Amino acid sequence: MVMKAASKKNPAKAVPVARKQVRTIAAGEFKAKCLQLMDEVAATGETIIITKRGKPVVSIAPPPQEEQPFRSLYGLTKGSMKIHGDIVSPLPNEWEADRD
Which residues form the domain of 34?
A: 18-63
Domain assignment present for residue 90? The answer is no
CATH, residue 31: 3.40.1620.10
**pLDDT tens over the chain, length 100 residues:** 444 444 555 545 544 444 567 889 999 999 999 999 999 999 998 999 999 999 999 999 988 887 778 888 888 888 888 888 888 887 777 777 777 6
What predicted TM-score, i.e. pTM, was given to this entire model?
A: 0.47
Give the C-alpha separation, 2 to 22, whole Å.
14
> How many degrees, rounded to 5, is the angle at CA 66 between CA 64 and CA 69?
150
Domain assignment present for residue 38? The answer is yes
4 with 17: CB under 8 angstroms? yes
Q: Which residues, other chains included, contact 50 with Cβ-Cβ below 8 Å and sequence gap of 6+?
A: 25, 26, 27, 30, 56, 57, 58, 59, 60
For residue 99, CA distances in Å to 14, 60, 72, 91, 95 come to: 70, 73, 39, 15, 7
